[in-house]
Chains A and B, each alone.
Chain A
Amino acid sequence: MKKIIISTVAVSALLFTVTSCKTDFDTDVKDIQVSKGSADFSKYVALGNSLTSGYRDGALYIDGQNESYPSMLAGQMKLVGGGEFKQPLMGDNNGGLLLPIGGGATAQIQDTKLYIKGFVDGAPDIGPINNNKAANLVSNILKGPFNNMGVPGAKVAHLLAPKYGDIAGIAGKTANPYFVRFASSPNASVIEDFASQNPTFFSLWIGNNDALLYALAGADNSIETLTPPAQFKTYYDMLISKIEATKAKGVIANIPSVTSIPSLTTIPTNPLTAAVLGKGNVAAGEAAIDDLNKNVYGPLSQILTALGAGDRIKPLSKTAANPLLIKDESIPNLGAQITAAAAGSGNPTLVMLSAYLGATYGQARQAKSGDLIPLTTKAAIGTLETLPAPIPASLGARGVAYPFADKYVLIPSEVKEINDAIDAYNVTIKAAATAKGYAFVDANAKLKQLAGDSGISWDGVKYTAKFVSGGAFSLDGVHLTGRGYGVIANEFITAINATYNSSLPLVDPNKYSGVTLP
């Protein structure tokens, strides 16, 4: 009988619980009203560089522009009173730029976008589309104003520069062809064209190129320079004060570390296998290795070992992947010692080459963990340096027999130099956001997360910074895919909502395009 009572009580309790259970959502998303909070999105203008323009796959083209993060933001802003978002769309989906050079002739100053032609042994074969024939004339000036003022290639200082849209300045690099396309006049600066629109809201993501271009140039000062942090601060603060004068509210983003992008992390430091050296023919590659060991690596290894620097160069292996040969300006130059040792070796070949060996290999070493090889360097592996007679031409094979010059490799000290500069830039950016009360996006942290092992997952799709297969970076290894820009757009939205009490919904990154596979 006791059991019955217990059971009955339990049944009643259960039924009671049933009536109070939560089977329906407290709030149905269909009933949620989105709000602009304290912001006014009616005139949103985006400032920035290629990342803002929607540039990807090494080019600016229509599909990429339509999937730029400012365009995504504008789409969400429309839900709460945002206005039209006009972009300086390119003429086609191939990208690339032609500059008229007089007499009806044109010079192609930008390549068309990259695409995957196919796969070779599981590795993507990537090249410019449409046989790299661009059709977009820089002189085809678009009628603005435009809401997306992202200018590929722009550094901080460039946004302030007058005549940055003057077609006559392109050759001398005082102007930018992408800004030329939509500047209100040849004399205009980006920031002037921005201010003249009286924006109510802005986004600013600039400064990447102050470090990135230098990094992609292998930190070779003769090609690109790293903006000194103090100079960066001067320009950045100047820019912010001009933006502040417009009274627009806005959001600013910091700069991602450039050393975790696929463009610098994809090529291993040791790509030289027998198959690679023999261009697919392993036997030929093994013969090449024997030859290199006999004529270059073996003697150099012996000489350097005798000089107490034997860790610089070791003979190549036929069975394992071998490191690239690079020049490292940060290590002591043993050129004179190498020349002396070669001259005194008694080996007629070495004696004959002694001066050359010292001059060429004084700061040579094999690449190792910590060195970064830009994606663009891959094509240069094994290409020939022109050597003075009577040096055998085969010794000029770059990265194999001839040390890669500065521009092909980032050595650890250069990586540190770049990252230190970015850290300093980011202090400036964060300080500006804090001082002016702008929403702040830690893009650096987000892209670090992307570069981590677990990446970023969204509705079952995992994004990582891995080249091609990671899905977030486009084929240039620097710029994001539509999906990657979607991830970033959500960071902007989150920051905007947090600062201005708005409730813009996030975008679904999965619905944008990733790497286009054939």
Chain B
Amino acid sequence: MKKILVSTALLAGVLSYAGGFRVSLQGVKQLAMAHTSAHAEDASVTFFNPAGMSFIPSKLSVVAGGFGASNKVTFQNLNTLQSTETDNPLGTPIYAAITYKPIEKLSVGFSFSTPFGSTVKWPENWEGKEMVQKMELKSYYFQPMVSVKLAPWLAFGASYIYARGKVDWDKAVTQFNGTVNINDEKASGHGYGFGFYFRPDPKLDVSIAYRSAIDMKAKNGTATFKFPTQTPYSLLKLNAAGQDGFSATLPLVEEYTIGLTYKVTPKWQVSADFNYHGWERYSKLVLDFDNAPLATNNPSDPTVLVNPKNFRNSKTFRLGTQYAFTNMIYGRLGAYYDESPYTNENFIPETPSFDTYVITGGVGFKLKQFGVDIAGGYAMPQYRNVNNANLGFYGQAKARAFYFGLGLSYNPF
């Protein structure tokens, strides 16, 4: 029974996308430069560091953009010689942000983003179907913020984050020849961010930012079981529709970022970033069912299912550069290295994650007050040996991914 939901990492994918198997897609300009943060040209800085708003040249800045993220994961079992590929649909994260300076020293802004959105879709009948068949995740961040210029070279900014998430997770329950769908459309949480943005020299931008952990609370989740007959309903204490409610709290982890941009010449700038993600918070996922006694390994309270996750803190290193060919055309390049937040012993197929190198590039056009940017990224996830004894999941996994994005910006003043 336990296995029915053992890997029920409810919003684990949300978590994973937040820092591990990370699709860093928050600004098309930024992505083109390896998703570095110390860029205060327009409102897209808001996601990275609210203090950056104070250094945006224009009084009002509006940006919006969208991405396509395509990825495929392959798992092979060297013991049984089975090989499985995911059939993931294209992910389409979007973002929009606006900043406004009512007075010179004060900036206010609002950022909307869908930072974590993906679907991992394994073949329904693949060997790991009891762990996951499909995991769809969506999230929305609503982030009002304010920034104060403390000195001509220094600003401090802070934001409030309201996070909203959806998880839709299918997996097989072969013991009953059925499936279960784990669903919560209304998980939510609150967090905050703050940062300092420095410009000690006109040539140098330094961004230091912290984004808090967020406890995403799924209070009214629904687990819907489908079996050929209804007999197991009473056994699992499900209602007449084969459902049970559950609640779970999911720690979205904190992130520390230090970034800097140096203008080597007026036309050429180089950026570097370092991120540190506090994944250690995600040591386990606890699902508390209303009635279903699924946790047979927890006799004192069999409705509380504890799944070990054992994530570890991880780091990302980023380097990017931009060159202005003219004052209308900009070329950008970057590369980054993103560490997986778990070891081979903790690999889980619902949120496959790899140490990943990514190369990025893009072009930007500035037409008066309008900016149009395009970017692309090619990821090179490092294949890994899967050695999860807890799940009895052994083999090798590899992935490939690429991203592209189109962003628009408006800086009227």
Within 8 Å of chain A (Cβ to Cβ): is B264? yes
One of A1-9, A43-51, A408-416, A429-437 at the interface = A1-9
Within 8 Å of chain A (Cβ to Cβ): is B51? no
- Top 6 nearest A-B pairs (CB, nearest first) are A457-B392, A460-B131, A506-B79, A460-B130, A462-B3, A458-B392
A10 touches B127 (CB 8 A): no
Interface residues of B (CB under 8 A from A): 1-3, 6-7, 76-83, 127-131, 174-177, 229, 231-232, 234-235, 260, 262, 264, 270, 272, 296-297, 317, 319, 321, 335-337, 357, 359, 380-383, 389-393, 396, 398, 400
Interface residues of A (CB under 8 A from B): 3-4, 7-8, 10-11, 14-15, 17-18, 21-25, 27-30, 32, 34, 118-119, 122, 453, 456-462, 466, 469, 471, 490, 505-508, 510-511, 514-515, 517-518
Residues of B within 8 A of A462 (CB): 2-3, 6, 392
Residues of B within 8 A of A515 (CB): 175
Beta-carbon nearest neighbor of A494 in chain B: B79
Residues of B within 8 A of A14 (CB): 317, 319, 335-337, 357
Beta-carbon nearest neighbor of B349 in chain A: A460
A10 touches B81 (CB 8 A): no
B7 touches A460 (CB 8 A): yes
A18 touches B130 (CB 8 A): no
Residues of B within 8 A of A508 (CB): 80, 82, 127
B82 touches A21 (CB 8 A): no
Whether A11 touches B81, Cβ cut-off 8 Å, given contacts A21-B357, A457-B392, is no
Residues of A within 8 A of B380 (CB): 18, 21, 23
Distance of A1 from chain B, by nearest CB (Å): 8
Per the bound structure, the CA–CA distance linking A469 and B294 in Å amounts to 11
Specify which of B81, B130, B232, B296 is in contact with A29 (CB 8 Å cutoff): B81
- What are 28 residue pairs bridging A and B, where the CB atoms are less than 8 Å apart in the complex? A4-B262, A7-B270, A10-B272, A14-B319, A14-B335, A15-B359, A17-B337, A18-B359, A18-B380, A21-B357, A23-B398, A25-B76, A29-B77, A32-B81, A119-B234, A453-B297, A457-B390, A457-B392, A459-B131, A460-B128, A460-B392, A461-B392, A466-B296, A490-B79, A505-B79, A517-B176, A517-B231, A518-B229
Per the bound structure, the CA–CA distance linking A514 and B3 in Å amounts to 13
A25 touches B130 (CB 8 A): no
Per the bound structure, the CA–CA distance linking A119 and B231 in Å amounts to 8
Residues of A within 8 A of B6 (CB): 460, 462
Beta-carbon nearest neighbor of B83 in chain A: A29
B80 touches A518 (CB 8 A): no
Per the bound structure, the CA–CA distance linking A323 and B130 in Å amounts to 39
Per the bound structure, the CA–CA distance linking A467 and B84 in Å amounts to 33
Per the bound structure, the CA–CA distance linking A490 and B392 in Å amounts to 14
Whether A469 touches B231, Cβ cut-off 8 Å, given contacts A10-B272, A14-B337, A461-B392, is no
Beta-carbon nearest neighbor of B79 in chain A: A506
Beta-carbon nearest neighbor of B350 in chain A: A460
* 15 more CB-based (< 8 A) A-B contacts, given A25-B398, A119-B235: A7-B272, A24-B398, A32-B81, A453-B297, A457-B390, A457-B392, A458-B392, A460-B128, A461-B3, A462-B392, A469-B1, A490-B79, A506-B79, A507-B80, A517-B177
Whether A10 touches B319, Cβ cut-off 8 Å, given contacts A15-B359, A459-B131, A460-B6, is yes
A510 touches B174 (CB 8 A): yes
Which residue among A23, A511, A514, A515 has the maximum number of chain B CB atoms within 10 Å of its CB?
A23
A18 touches B296 (CB 8 A): no
Residues of A within 8 A of B357 (CB): 14, 17-18, 21
B262 touches A7 (CB 8 A): yes
Distance of B74 from chain A, by nearest CB (Å): 8
Specify which of A30, A122, A490, A505 is in contact with B235 (CB 8 Å cutoff): A122
A517 touches B319 (CB 8 A): no
Distance of A505 from chain B, by nearest CB (Å): 5
B392 touches A514 (CB 8 A): no
Residues of B within 8 A of A507 (CB): 80
Per the bound structure, the CA–CA distance linking A14 and B333 in Å amounts to 13
Distance of B334 from chain A, by nearest CB (Å): 8
Per the bound structure, the CA–CA distance linking A16 and B140 in Å amounts to 36
Per the bound structure, the CA–CA distance linking A509 and B153 in Å amounts to 65
Residues of A within 8 A of B296 (CB): 466, 469
A23 touches B381 (CB 8 A): yes
A29 touches B82 (CB 8 A): yes
Distance of A21 from chain B, by nearest CB (Å): 5
A461 touches B174 (CB 8 A): yes
Residues of B within 8 A of A510 (CB): 127, 129-130, 174
Per the bound structure, the CA–CA distance linking A456 and B391 in Å amounts to 9
Per the bound structure, the CA–CA distance linking A363 and B398 in Å amounts to 66
Per the bound structure, the CA–CA distance linking A14 and B360 in Å amounts to 12
Distance of A268 from chain B, by nearest CB (Å): 14
Per the bound structure, the CA–CA distance linking A4 and B268 in Å amounts to 11
A459 touches B391 (CB 8 A): yes
Per the bound structure, the CA–CA distance linking A4 and B131 in Å amounts to 47
A29 touches B231 (CB 8 A): no
Per the bound structure, the CA–CA distance linking A24 and B354 in Å amounts to 12
Beta-carbon nearest neighbor of A514 in chain B: B175
Whether A30 touches B80, Cβ cut-off 8 Å, given contacts A18-B335, A469-B296, is no
Distance of B78 from chain A, by nearest CB (Å): 6
Specify which of B174, B337, B389, B396 is in contact with A25 (CB 8 Å cutoff): B396
Per the bound structure, the CA–CA distance linking A505 and B177 in Å amounts to 26
Whether A23 touches B400, Cβ cut-off 8 Å, given contacts A461-B3, A505-B80, is yes
B175 touches A471 (CB 8 A): yes
Distance of B177 from chain A, by nearest CB (Å): 8
